[in-house]
Amino acid sequence: GSSGTLASQIAGGAPVDLFAAADTAYVDELIASEALIPDTRRVYAVGHLVLAVSGRAGAADDLMDLLDPDITHVAIANPDHAPYGRAAREALESAGLWEKLQPKLVLGENVRQAVQYVETGNAQAGLVPRSLAGVDGITYVAVDESLYTPLSQALAVVAGSPREAEARRFAELVTGPEGRAVLARYGFGLPEE
């Protein structure tokens, strides 16, 4: 699910042990409302945006290629509640393309759905996380990081979890050497130690 949707569910008492969000703001808001345990907060990754293209659509090397009339659908996660969707909107605004691409935009409820639109060819292109773009049938290029705010991602244990000890151990695994190696392998940037 999108970070915003999951944060709302946790705030409403959803039975969750650990929350990992694609934007530190969601974790910080839940800590402020005492829904998450403050001393468990860790920045675990930095997400990167890519321009992903369906193998059926040909190639796109630059955001300006999205103006090509052969690209009729561009998938992004819903920017109202998905951090990568906000980053996509910010990148398109910075490139002067947001308004021009409105008729082509297809909003996924979350980043996985946006990738799925590209993967299935229902959208010829999409702005999605690098960590999810490495699937068959999709090629991708990095989006210039100066066009959007970096996606610092954080996690924390949910207050009142009946499995707090296990959740703390999992958080340590994710942010420790073994977890960092896995995150790097899947295309995440790593925060400073």
Averaged pLDDT, 46-51: 95
Query: Tens of pLDDT along 10-23?
Result: 999 999 999 999 99
Residue 136 banded pLDDT, cuts 50, 70, 90: confident
Predicted confidence band at 2 (pLDDT cuts at 50, 70, 90)? confident
Q: Which helix (H) or strand (E) holds 52?
A: strand 49-54
Task: Identify the pLDDT of residue 57.
Answer: 67
To which residue do tokens 């090397």 refer?
61
Tens-place pLDDT, residues 85-103: 999 999 999 999 999 999 9
Q: Which helix (H) or strand (E) holds 108?
A: strand 105-108
To the nearest whole percent, how much of the chain has pLDDT over 70?
98
- What letter does residue 98 receive in the DSSP assignment? H
Question: Percent of the chain beyond pLDDT 90?
Answer: 87
Residue that has been written with the tokens 């990095």 in this structure: 142
Averaged pLDDT, 111-139: 93
The torsion of the CA quartet 130, 134, 135, 136, rounded to 10 degrees, works out to 130
Residue bearing the bigger pLDDT, 136 or 35 = 35
> pTM of this prediction?
0.87
